Copies of this chain bind each other. A is one copy, B any other.
Amino acid sequence: MGLGMDRLELEMMVAGGVCAPEGFLAGGITCGIKRPDLPKKDLALIVSEQPCTAAAVFTKNQVAAPPVRLSRIRLAEGAPRAIVANSGNANAATGEQGMRDAEEMCALAAAELGLRPEDVFVCSTGIIGKPVPMERIRSRFGDLRQALHRNGSEAAAEAIMTSDTRPKEFAVEIEGGIRIGGIAKGAGMIRPDMATMLAFLTTDAAVDRDTLQAATVEAVKQSFNCITIDGDTSTNDTVIVLANGVKGSVSREAFQRGLNRVMLELAHRIVADGERVTKFVTVEVKGAKSDADARAVADAVANSNLCKASWNGEDPNWGRILHAVGYAKAEIVEEKVDIFFGALQATRNGLATETPLLDLIEIVRQPKFHVTIDLNLGDGHALVYSSDLSPEYVDFNRREYSLVNQKA
């Protein structure tokens, strides 16, 4: 019932994150955007030494931050090969000033790199509704360029963190020595809708632009779009993939598989590092009338506050799961629903089984467990990666990133 047990591991994990593929440099420095008084990295840069093809998907939130809008233009205009990103301020709900600030960030990075502003993507993450403190960033682009390094992926991954507790990077090597690497951040406001949080991927494969975009959309669909922490879709979600072609071409299938693998791993790490998360819960729905129905049921369960609170309490509460299945906008027949925790069946035909409660508790005591819901109506299938909801999550979000307690 576990993930990935039915396929061979064709990719080899390698170190180096976004710098694992050849020809990419990365770095991150501390500018005091997050907190002037606390030295935490908050400005990141990734660049390809060679020209690239680029692909990206962005949030579907209708309130899209200026850096998202500008990066959409960059993607349409051409083939950017660098990404500048800051944390601590989302540059969202900042209007024309926000767009000017996003443009200035691209221009400053481009000047240091000897590129055109059109060659640079820009991303921001952090509090919504405050102007970016450009006075703290403007003078630092020389330092940022100097921080660029073949070993700079982790520093860049750190510099995009907000309430994340650890940097997230992952890379694989596929056929022909070709590599795909990435970094990501995200800890709250996580219910991606076609893109998510910030995730930057690089590859030294040669992939044409249309193929890269299609492969990116497909990989996002199977990874970042299958996770939820709190059901809130962000204004700044962005996934960018840069391909510099240094290592030559690759089969479409192998590339897609490798890209899926990196994105899925980063997505899992985002859930596992969700704000005050103690459980990583895979919600699998099968036997639905359609894949869409399966996804609706998985979403209902994975986003139910009451299910998530029960998981935090290590309570194998199948009744709450069944109630969420019941309100999903999908066809279900209560008398056919089976629910499993791990391999143990808690519910058969909508009713409690004889499985001892203590055995079920053993499963939900694990930091990672699998909930399977079989609707027994068809072949529809979906997987969603969720977390528990803790009192500490709420306590954190009543204080952090609040307008009241904002120090910056």
Contacts and interface: CB of A to CB of B under 8 A. Distances in A.
Contacts of A403: 315-319, 357, 360
Contacts of A335: 95
A319 B128 contact: yes
Nearest to A358: B404
Nearest to A350: B93
Interface residues of A, number: 72
A399 B391 CA distance: 11
Contacts of A404: 313-316, 357, 361
A93 B232 contact: no
Contact of A306 (B193, B230, B312, B318): B230
Contacts of A309: 393-394, 397-398
B63 A326 contact: yes
A128 B328 CA distance: 17
Nearest to A308: B394
A323 B128 contact: yes
A334 interface: yes
Given A193-B327, A334-B62, A398 B315 contact: yes
A389 interface: yes
B397 A310 contact: yes
B306 A129 contact: no
A392 interface: yes
A390 interface: yes
The secondary-structure label for the interface of chain A is loop
Given A323-B92, A394-B389, A394-B390, A306 B233 contact: no
A225 interface: no
A235 interface: yes
Contacts of A233: 323, 326-327
A264 interface: no
Contacts of A397: 305-306, 309-310, 313
Interface string A22-65: 00000000000000000000000000000000000000111110
Interface in A316-344: 316-320, 322-328, 332-335, 337
Contacts of A328: 62
A263 interface: no
A213 interface: no
Contact of A93 (B94, B129, B306, B319): B319
B327 A60 contact: yes
A165 interface: no
Contacts of A334: 62-64, 93
Contacts of A387: none
